[in-house]
A and B are shown apart, each in its own frame.
Chain A
Amino acid sequence: MAIYLTKESKVLVQGMTGAEGMKHTRRMLAAGTDVVGGVNPRKAGRTVEFDERAVPVFGSVREGVERTGADVTVVFVPPAFAKAAVVEAADAGIGLAVVITEGIPVHDSVAFTAYARTRGTRIIGPNCPGVITPGQSNAGIIPPDITKSGRIGLVSKSGTLTYQLMYELRDIGFSTCVGIGGDPVVGTSHTDCLAAFQDDPDTELVVLIGEIGGDAEERAAAYIRDHVTKPVVGYIAGFTAPEGRTMGHAGAIVSGSSGTAQAKRDALEAAGVRVGSTPAETARHVAAALGREARYGAVV
C-alpha cells in the first residue's frame, strides 16, 4: 500500500521539457513510475520519446487530467512560475503535487499551500527531493537504485540525509520515503507523514530525520507521544552548526522553542523515540528495533 504514492499513481510532470524535467522524467520512468504526460502550453500536442515510452505533452494540467486520469503532478518549473503551476494543478483536481522547485518566494508558498488545502490537494515540498515508494513509483529526484522495497517509512527535511539512510538500510528496505523539503513553509509536515505511516499496514517502523530551525520536530514528538504506536527512530542534524543570528523577538515568541538540535532530540526522546547520534547509529537503532541486529552490528 505505502503512503501517498503507489504503482497505480498516474504522474504528470510540469516543466518536463526543461533540462531538469527531462533528466528526471527519464529517471522516474526507469524506476517504474507511470508518467502519463508533461505539461507545457508552448509545446502542447508534441510527444517526447523516452526509452520506456513516448510521453505526450499537454497544454494544461486540466487537459492532462482529462486525457489520462492523472492524480499526481511533479513540478519542476522555475520559482517565478511555481505558484501558478501549483494553483493550476489544484484547480484541475490533482490529489498530490510534488514541488521540487528550489527558491520559491515564501509568500508564494504560503499562498499556494493555503489554496491547495481548500481544493483538497496535498503538496509535498517545495524545495524537496520528492517521494518514492521503492519498486512501485518515484515522484521527484530521489535516486531509486540505492535501496529496495521494505517496511520502513522515512520522512526527512534533507535530501542527502534521506539518501544516506536509504542506503544504510538498503538490506531492510522502505515502504515509502518522503522528502518534505527544508523551506520555512512546506505543504506536508513530519506530523502528516507520521499519521499516514501509522495508518499504513505496509509500514512497520518510521525513521524521522530533522534538522535545526523551526519547531516541526518538537510538534512531531508531541504527535508521536499521543498518536503513534509504531516504533519511531529519529536523527537530528545540526548540533555543531554555526549559530544562526536571530533578529527581533517574534520567532521565539511564536514557537516557544529554541529550535536547537538538542531541544529537538530531547523532545523526541521524551516521546520514546530512539535518536541516533550519527546516520550509521540511527540505522543500527532501526535494525535493532526490527530484530535485524546481526547484519548491522549491535547498538553501542
Chain B
Amino acid sequence: MDLYEHQARELFEKHGIVVPRAEVTDSPERARGIARALGGRAVVKAQVKTGGRGKAGGVRLAADPAAAEHAARRILGMGIKGHTVGTVMLAEPVDVDREFYVSYVLDRAAGRFLAVASAEGGTEIEQVAAERPGAVARIPVDPDEGVTTSTAARIADAAGLPPQAVDVLVRLWEVLVREDALLVEVNPLVRTAQGGIVALDGKVTLDDNALYRQSRWGGERVESADPLEARAAAKGLNYVRLDGAVGVIGNGAGLVMSTLDVVAGCGARPANFLDIGGGASARVMADGLSVVLSDPAVKSVLVNVFGGITACDAVADGIVRALEEVTLTKPLVVRLDGNSAARGRALLDARAHPLVEQATTMDGAARRAARLATAASTAG
C-alpha cells in the first residue's frame, strides 16, 4: 500500500526525523486558516499517489493566506496522471541550501534491502543515476544487523552526505522495519540555510502482507474510484477494469495475465483482469461473473480456468448459479481444463444455455471470444 505524502511525513515525524510543519485539508477555506497558522506563507501540495506533481502544477508556493486559499482551490479536484486530487497539504516553506536523496528499497534479486543515497537529490535523481552512476551510492543492508550508526556513517560517507544525515539514515531504517515498509524514500532531504536537516518530501510503500500486525493501518482501505472495482473489492475479488470489450475471468494471476495477452493477440482488447484465485468456490465464480457482466463495455466474456487446486466443476457450478441470478445477454466462452474438467464441462452441457459455449483450448477460446466481441461491437 502506497501512502500519501502527508502519511509518510507523519511516520517520519513519529520516528524522530525532522519534517516541515504541515497540515492537510480538503477545503480551500481551511487552507487559508492553515496558512495563517503556519505564519502566512505556505507550500500547497496536491496529495496524490503518483510522481510528477510539480510538473503537473500540483505544487504551488503561496505568499499569504489568501494566495494559499486560491492555490488550494486550483489544485483540489485537479487530475494528475489519472488521479483526482482530493486533499492538499500545506507546509511551512523551507530555505533550501542543498538537496540530497536517501532511500531504503527492496533489492529483489539479492533478497535484502539496499540503502540508496546521493548528494544530488531532487526530481532529476533517476537521470543522475543513469548518467553518472558513481554519484549514487548503493549499499546492501545486512538483514540481521540492520542500519547501525556505523552503517549509516558508511552510507553517508559513500554518498557524500553531511554528518547530520547519519541520524536520519538510522531513523529511516527504523521507519522501514517498525512500519513493515517495502520502500522509504526521502527526496529531497535538505540542508536548510540555517544548517538543519529536514525531510522535505517522502514516499512510503507499506507491505500489504504485514498490515495484520500494523494496527495503525489495519482499517485503512484503498477505495477505488471505479464503481465496478469498488463493487468487486467489496466482494473480495481481485478485479482491475481495463478499456476493452472482452471480459476475462481466470484463475491465478499468471494465467489471467497470459489470457489478456492472448486476447490482445487475437485483435481484441480485454475489458478487465479478474483472478478468482486458487481453490475458488462456485460463489466466487458467480460473483465474478456478475461483476464482469455488469460492465456495459463488455461484449463477450472469456472464462479460462486451468484447475490445479481449483476444481472445474465448482467453476461450472458458479457459472450455472450466475445464470440463475442475472439474465445473460452477452455470449460466454468457457475453457475448462485440469482438475475435474470433465465434470465441469458436463455441468455446462447439461445447462445448455444458448449464449454459453465451450472451447477445448485457451487459444481457441480467446479467438472465439474476441470474434464475438468484435461482431457485437460492429453490430451495435
Contact residues, B249-264 vs A (CB, 8 A): 250-255, 257-258, 260-264
Q: How many residues of A contact B (CB 8 A)?
A: 64
The docked-state distance in angstroms from the alpha carbon of A265 to that of B361 is: 24
Residue-by-residue, is A257-290 near B (CB-CB < 8 Å gives 1, otherwise 0)?
A: 0000100000000000000011110000000000
B125 within 8 A of A: yes
The docked-state distance in angstroms from the alpha carbon of A246 to that of B307 is: 33
Beta-carbon contact of A164 and B362 below 8 Å: yes
Whether A250 touches B116, Cβ cut-off 8 Å, given contacts A184-B106, A280-B362, is: yes
Residues on A with C-beta less than 8 A from B309 are 141, 143
Residues on B with C-beta less than 8 A from A255 are 108-109
Query: A104, A156, A163: which contacts B306 (Cβ < 8 A)?
Result: A163
Beta-carbon contact of A237 and B126 below 8 Å: no
Whether A80 touches B212, Cβ cut-off 8 Å, given contacts A167-B338, A248-B51, A251-B105, is: yes
Beta-carbon contact of A245 and B2 below 8 Å: yes
19 contacting pairs across A/B (C-beta < 8 A): A106-B210, A109-B111, A129-B308, A157-B254, A159-B252, A160-B251, A161-B254, A167-B306, A184-B106, A239-B260, A239-B264, A240-B263, A241-B273, A242-B242, A245-B49, A250-B105, A254-B114, A278-B262, A278-B265
Residues on A with C-beta less than 8 A from B209 are 79, 103-106
Residue-by-residue, is B317-358 near A (CB-CB < 8 Å gives 1, otherwise 0)?
A: 000000000000000000001110000000000000000000
B70 within 8 A of A: no
Residues on B with C-beta less than 8 A from A104 are 209
Rounded to whole Å, the gap between the CB of A186 and the closest CB of chain B is 8
The docked-state distance in angstroms from the alpha carbon of A87 to that of B180 is: 20
Query: A106, A189, A219, A248: which contacts B203 (Cβ < 8 A)?
Result: A248
Closest residue on chain B to residue A112 by CB atoms: B143
Closest residue on chain A to residue B118 by CB atoms: A253
Residues on A with C-beta less than 8 A from B51 are 246-249
- When A and B form their complex, what is the total count of cross-chain residue pairs whose Cβ atoms lie within 8 Å? 194
The docked-state distance in angstroms from the alpha carbon of A163 to that of B109 is: 25
Interface-located stretch among A3-11, A41-49, A89-97, A207-215: A207-215
Residue-by-residue, is A207-241 near B (CB-CB < 8 Å gives 1, otherwise 0)?
A: 00101101110010000000000000001011111
B98 within 8 A of A: no
A142 within 8 A of B: yes
Residues of B within 8 A of A (CB): 2, 49-51, 101, 103-109, 111-114, 116, 125-126, 129-130, 136, 138, 142-144, 177, 180, 182-183, 185, 187, 203, 205, 207, 209-210, 212-213, 240, 242, 250-255, 257-258, 260-265, 269-270, 273, 278, 306-309, 337-339, 361-363
Taking A106-B106, A114-B143 as given, write out 16 further A-B residue pairs in contact, using a Cβ cutoff of 8 Å, ordered by the A residue number. A106-B182, A110-B106, A114-B111, A141-B309, A146-B338, A159-B308, A160-B250, A164-B255, A239-B261, A248-B203, A251-B105, A277-B265, A278-B261, A278-B262, A278-B265, A278-B363
Beta-carbon contact of B337 and A247 below 8 Å: no
Residues on B with C-beta less than 8 A from A159 are 252, 254, 278, 308
Beta-carbon contact of B50 and A245 below 8 Å: yes
The docked-state distance in angstroms from the alpha carbon of A215 to that of B108 is: 8
Looking at B107, B210, B270, B306, which has the most chain A CB atoms within 10 Å of its CB?
B306
Whether A240 touches B253, Cβ cut-off 8 Å, given contacts A110-B112, A185-B108, A247-B205, is: no
Query: Interface of chain B, helix or strand or loop or mixed?
Result: mixed
Rounded to whole Å, the gap between the CB of A1 and the closest CB of chain B is 26
Contact residues, A54-106 vs B (CB, 8 A): 79-80, 103-106
Closest residue on chain A to residue B252 by CB atoms: A160
The docked-state distance in angstroms from the alpha carbon of A277 to that of B259 is: 11
Query: A219, A240, A247, A250: which contacts B260 (Cβ < 8 A)?
Result: A240
Beta-carbon contact of B339 and A143 below 8 Å: yes
A299 within 8 A of B: no
Rounded to whole Å, the gap between the CB of B360 and the closest CB of chain A is 12
Whether A237 touches B185, Cβ cut-off 8 Å, given contacts A105-B209, A278-B363, is: no
Residues on B with C-beta less than 8 A from A239 are 260-261, 264
Beta-carbon contact of A185 and B111 below 8 Å: yes
